[in-house]
Structure 1
Amino acid sequence: MTTKIAFLGLGGMGTPMATRLLDAGHPLTVWNRTAARSQGLAARGAAVAATPGDAVRSADVVISMLADPGAVAEVAAAAAPRLRPGTHWIEMSTIGPDAVRDLAERLPTGVTLLDAPVLGSVDKAATGELGILVGGDADGVEKVLGVLGTVTRCGPPGSAAALKLVVNTALIGGVVVVAEALALAGRLGVPAATAEQALLASAVGGAARRALATEAAFPTALAAKDLHLATATAPLPVLAAVLDRLGAHPDLAAHDLARAADRIRAGG
């Protein structure tokens, strides 16, 4: 059986995710603040809505993949009055548990909310190999989520958003540490290739792979957003220092985190 899906947010991750759902045969309505980003999906058969409310009015499932808590709150305010009882709203952005609770309060009675942030970049989104952390009861939507990747149930609503923030802050911090380690290698005269291979083979190999990535798409501005959410929640002096390091390169805000690592490695 197909499920009528409204997909809100067609950024670097949202577009390949929405494409997979459309290719799986689900009737799909999409909305994006910049309407031009909808054209490719429209050409493949998706309906394009002018507003979030128009997008969700006949949906069985609503998926939001937006930049930050403010964007989610704004879109929810516009969409909530048009939601039908029985609809599932799957919030897949990285916004933290507080914003998930705020979203839950905005939704009308009879609408089920799941927080389902993802692990993986645009390559995994395109191939349906994302890791999907789910907070809440996913029984009614697991087949939809299965088109996008592998589901890991984390507990009650908000639990997945919390875990995603933990994972992202550890990764972002690790990338910056690797970049500084490579800067140290340069100062000490260690050949770059030797240092890279040693780090890749070490306990920080995952962070090293991410720091050296060339095809990922996690904008530095979104990494900084995640660190802002984390440091506003708890005293995290190391991550606060990492946030300062990223903030020193505003010209890289739209570029992948690995490009910020390159700048730091070069002494920036």
Structure 2
Amino acid sequence: MEKIAFLGLGSMGAPMAHRLLAAGHSLTVWNRTGAKAAPLVTAGARLAESPADAIRDADVVITMLADPAAAHAVAEAVVPALRPGTHWIDTSTVGPDTIRDLAARLPDGVTLTDAPVMGSVDRAEAGELWILAGGCPLPAPVRTVLGHLGHITECGAPGSGAALKLVLINAVIGGVALVSETLRLGQTLGLPAELVRTELAKGPLSGAVARTFAEASHFPISLAAKDVSLATAHTSLPLLDAVHTLLTAHPHLAAQDLSRLRP
């Protein structure tokens, strides 16, 4: 069994790390806020003092970080400590540019797989994430480890997984924003909220309606805004620009799930 270092134990990273520990892997964990690692340490993981300490003996390093700035900060610590033969899997949503930047810094003999995930906390806990993997064909240890977390879609060249994640997640965010606005329109026109929701769910927006009313998901609005920014940096996307304005209009909701957009 591969020795795994897992860096980043937020709402998604923690349940993913639990899945790997339950599968029998030797697991070392690190998080900027060490207290978040306590349940994993109780379950048998080792808590590292630093990112470099975490990866010291690892065969596979997994990062699940909030944004490109966090990814670059961790890279500063771990890249000098990576050993030849180590496989680095980044499951964060940071975009293809950041993946290319990280890959360019790797020492010889180290691989980087971009493997961002679709799905929220509930799917992470169940091992049912949709994993978008770039850098194919995948090394065998990488495929084994990711297999504990969900279903793998091989996307192609390095960075392609990160690119597809931006496409898919922005479709979700834009869909939720559109459903939220149509619900508000129905409210303004005096229609019963349940009637509008039920009828919307019968049409092509059914998936977006389901996500708008999801109860077991946690995708903070601040991270949704970050994902939209990563997409709009690549090309002109007027609709998503408007969505970004919506996402950032109410700072007090930044830590709340995306479903809070609905009226």
Identify whether the pair has TM-score above 0.5, normalized to the shorter chain.
yes
Residue 92 of structure 1: CA displacement? Answer: 0.3
- Residue 139 of structure 1 and its aligned partner are, at CA, apart by 3.1
Task: Mark the runs of 5 or more structure 2 residues left unpaired by the alignment.
Answer: none
Tell me the equivalent position of 2:159: 158
Equivalent residue number for residue 95 of structure 1: 94
Tell me, yes or no, if the aligned pair for 1:200 and 1:208 is still in contact at 8 Å.
yes
1:187-202 equivalence runs, <5 A: 187-202=188-203
Q: Deviations over 1:127-148 (max 9, x none)?
A: 1000101001313221111100
Post-superposition offset of 1:203: 0.2
Q: How many Å apart are 1:108 and its aligned residue?
A: 1.2
Q: Does 1:35 align with 2:37?
A: no
RMSD over aligned Cα atoms: 0.7
The DSSP-based 3-state class of the residue aligned with 2:133 is strand
The CA deviation at 1:79 is: 0.6
C-alpha distance in 2, partners of 1:109/1:194?
59
Shift, 1:154, TM fit:
0.3
Aligned partners of 2:199 and 2:63: how far apart in 1? 40
- Alignment match, 2:114: 115
State the AA in 2 paired with 1:123.
Answer: D
Greater CA drift, 11-20 or 181-190? 181-190
Give TM-score, length-normalised by structure 1: 0.96
Partners of 2:170 and 2:97 lie apart in 1 by 16
Distance in 2 between residues matched to 1:238 and 1:163, nearest whole Å:
19
Question: Which residue number in structure 1 is paired with residue 234 of structure 2?
Answer: 233
Structure 1 runs of 4+ aligned residues shifted over 2 Å read none
Show the counterpart of 1:139: 139
Instruction: Give the number of equivalent residue pairs.
Output: 261
**In 2, are the aligned partners of 1:67 and 1:93 still within 8 Å (CA)?**
yes
Residue equivalent to 1:19 = 18
What code does the residue aligned with 1:138 have? Answer: L
Asked if 2 retains the 8 angstrom alpha-carbon contact of 1:77 and 1:106, the reply is no
Give yes or no for contact 1:24–1:147 (8 Å, CA) kept in 2: yes
Query: TM-score when scaled to structure 2?
Result: 0.98
Cα distance in 2 for residues equivalent to 1:109 and 1:200: 51
Q: How far 1:10 sits from its partner (Å)?
A: 0.1
| Separation (CA, whole Å) in 1 of partners of 2:25 and 2:153 | 23
Q: Percent identity?
A: 58
Structure 1 residues 3-33: Cα deviation after superposition (integer angstroms, max 9, x where no partner): 1000000000000000000010000000000
Distance, in Å, in 1 between the alignment partners of 2:191 and 2:108 is 61
SS at match of 2:203: coil
| SS at 2:144 equivalent | helix
The alpha-carbon deviation at position 36 of structure 1 amounts to 0.4
Q: Offset at 1:149?
A: 0.2
Code of the aligned partner of 2:44: G
| Alpha-carbon separation, structure 2, partners of 1:70 and 1:232 | 15
Aligned to 1:125: 124
Match in the other structure for 1:58: 57
Cα offsets for 1:239-264 (capped at 9, x unmatched)? 000000111011111110001x12xx
Alignment partner, residue 8 of structure 1: 7
1:222 and 2:223 correspond: yes
- Gap runs ≥5 in structure 1: none
